[in-house]
Amino acid sequence: MLSSAWFTDWKEAQTNHYRQAAREYEDLYRLFMHGDLDEQLFRKRRAHFGAGPRPVAGRVLLRLTIPLGRLSPRQLRAAADLAERFTPGRHFHLTPRQNLHFYDVPLEDSPAFLHAAADAGFGLAPAAGDGPCNVVLPAGCGTLPGEAFDPSFAAALLQQRLAKDPALRDLPGPFKVGFWRSLYDEESEPGNDLSVVPARRRVGTRQVRGFRLLLAGGLGPNPRVEALWKSFVAPEELYAHVRAVALHFKERCQDSRPGLRLRDLLLAEGWPAFQEDLAQRVAEQAPDRKALFFHRLPLGLPQAATAALPSWLHGFAVPMPEPGTFLVKGQPLGGMLDVATALDLAGLIERYGQGELRVTPRQQLWIPGIGEPNLLAAFQELQRLGLAGSFLGSFCACPGSGLCPRAGLDTLALGQQVLDALKDGLGSELGRATAGLRLGASACGNGCGRHRSADLGFEACVVERQGRRETQVRVYARTPQRPELAALIGTVRPEQVPQLVRSLVEGYKGSDAPDLAGFLRLPEGYEGLRRAMAAVGARDS
């Protein structure tokens, strides 16, 4: 757990930085209100502070970062308070980049909102291109076994460096950095411009810590899996490498089309030229002496204590290294939380947990440190809040048609239909069969619902048929030939999706696969999905 004095100092420094940013935003807002800044320039500059446009005049979308994806009960209450004060009756949204989105905040309230958010320790999340995106950190870091060492400190330092580096303002598009716990961790998500993976290496008789770096991935319309760039970088060299990539991206893409990603640049330049430029930039940077203390971090984590759990707890509770303690998982569909649920959740964490809630990159909520005697009570409370049931997979969804102007589909309604169809088809087998299953739904090709990294993904699209435009759903799955990213299988109408899921479940029940995720990754599962698509009259890819 991150409870050291170092982390306390880091949080304080971050909060001061966020407060400063909130003051700068207020100055900007006043300039605009006094007529000293024209509207177009105000819109452009406010995006750096996380204030985005909304279709409703006089309202803004305010984006906050959850530092390291971790919320204390106090912060959860503060988020609920922000929603209650500034967007009454609305949910707030936990995004896969560990941000919080508040929709339709009145513009005149935006300075007060950002001051309150900064006081609660939330960062102001620049819109894509206005600065590096929030550094995503897997929720299991430092808590579950399987990592070379806990990368939380490195993520914290990197987040701080990136946010304060004036050279990295005004990037030409999104620059996404994320940590993985290990190359083989189920929680690891492809799709970052730069992925950082803890690694260790033997030097003489010593094991030293470092990082493996992967480059130029992305989900969205042209997804690409990251390529290995460096197999080992010392901690004090990490920032130099990250900065080199960001500066290369900024300088080479400056005048190109908006929305360009690092992967497009890599494809255009070719790997040798790309690497040569990065090597030169790295050589120009000084080592980060603050990162030297990472060499003293403990290596690995003790194995989790084995615990004999009743079957209903499998997948919901994961044993932690400390005997008798568990990490429990909840899932708000699409990452949507309302005020009452957030407040109850904060109470639950205080009663049973260790004062921390972790938001995963697939919008799950993990509560570490729950003692065995409290597991049943925690489960029942999460169930009452609609955050736990017998579905044990993850369902990541973008906010959909109610909230995003680009959306062609109500992804949350679709998600609920898929979950209902799984429940109908699997009955009492639902928990076991859906353990580890990744579902994703995006209401357009931008892929914010991570459907391309799911076992089964849905993407809304609009097609022209006989002169009429209609919304359809593209269905994606990981194929045995290309398991890293889900590939397009075919297209169905939205109302056919539940039947498709039921047919898929029938195929799974007739197989020997241990669960649905396993079934979908087998050749027979892929064929089963294609048969299910044919059964509902899908159009082929």
236 versus 459: smaller Cβ distance to ligand SF4: 459
Which positions ≥6 away from 527 have C-beta within 8 Å? none
Do the Cβ atoms of 136 and 177 come closer than 8 Å? yes
Do the Cβ atoms of 110 and 152 come closer than 8 Å? no
| Nearest distance in Å: CB 468, ligand SF4 | 21
| Nearest distance in Å: CB 423, ligand SF4 | 25
| Nearest distance in Å: CB 225, ligand SF4 | 20
| Nearest distance in Å: CB 449, ligand SF4 | 6
404 versus 513: smaller Cβ distance to ligand SF4: 404
Do the Cβ atoms of 382 and 317 come closer than 8 Å? no
What's at 21, amino acid-wise? A
| Nearest distance in Å: CB 457, ligand SF4 | 11
253 versus 396: smaller Cβ distance to ligand SF4: 396
243 versus 451: smaller Cβ distance to ligand SF4: 451
Closest CA to 459 of 400, 511, 521, 512: 400
For the chain, how are helix, strand and coil distributed in percent, rounded to 5?
A: 45, 25, 35
51 versus 443: smaller Cβ distance to ligand SF4: 443
Rounded to whole angstroms, the Cα distance separating 40 from 373 reads 57
70 versus 362: smaller Cβ distance to ligand SF4: 362
| Nearest distance in Å: CB 220, ligand SF4 | 9
Q: How many residues does the chain have?
A: 541
415 versus 447: smaller Cβ distance to ligand SF4: 447
CA distances (Å), origin 345, targets 51, 96, 120, 338: 27, 19, 17, 11
For residue 92, the cross-strand partners are 337
Q: Exposed e or buried b for every residue in 286-325, given b needs 16+ CB within 10 A?
A: eebeebeebeebeeebeebeebebeeebebbbbbbebeeb
Binding stretches for ligand SF4 (CB under 6 A):
398-399, 404, 406-407, 442-444, 446-449
Q: Cα-atom radius of gyration of the chain, to the nearest Å?
A: 23
Lookup: tokens for 310: 């009743």
Rounded to whole angstroms, the Cα distance separating 185 from 485 reads 16
Which positions ≥6 away from 399 have C-beta within 8 Å? 93, 101, 103, 334, 336, 407, 411, 412, 443, 448
DSSP-derived letter for residue 68 is G
For residue 124, the cross-strand partners are 64
| Nearest distance in Å: CB 173, ligand SF4 | 14
319 versus 334: smaller Cβ distance to ligand SF4: 334
Lookup: tokens for 455: 């076992």
| Nearest distance in Å: CB 400, ligand SF4 | 6
Closest CA to 158 of 51, 243, 73, 285: 243
Three-class SS of residue 391? coil
425 versus 457: smaller Cβ distance to ligand SF4: 457
Closest CA to 471 of 403, 402, 417, 411: 411
409 versus 435: smaller Cβ distance to ligand SF4: 409
Phi/psi at 178 (nearest 5 deg)? -145, 150
The DSSP result for 131-188, as a single string, is BPPPPB--TTTTTSS--SB-THHHHHHHHHHHHH-GGGSS-SS---EEE-S-TT-TT-
2 versus 444: smaller Cβ distance to ligand SF4: 444
Rounded to whole angstroms, the Cα distance separating 341 from 332 reads 10
| Nearest distance in Å: CB 448, ligand SF4 | 3
| Nearest distance in Å: CB 310, ligand SF4 | 38
Rounded to whole angstroms, the Cα distance separating 539 from 180 reads 37
174 versus 498: smaller Cβ distance to ligand SF4: 174
- CA 39 to chain CA centroid, nearest Å: 32
| Nearest distance in Å: CB 263, ligand SF4 | 18
Rounded to whole angstroms, the Cα distance separating 151 from 66 reads 17
| Nearest distance in Å: CB 208, ligand SF4 | 41
270 versus 405: smaller Cβ distance to ligand SF4: 405
| Nearest distance in Å: CB 87, ligand SF4 | 17
| Nearest distance in Å: CB 441, ligand SF4 | 9
Closest CA to 104 of 40, 66, 53: 53
Do the Cβ atoms of 259 and 184 come closer than 8 Å? no
67 versus 399: smaller Cβ distance to ligand SF4: 399
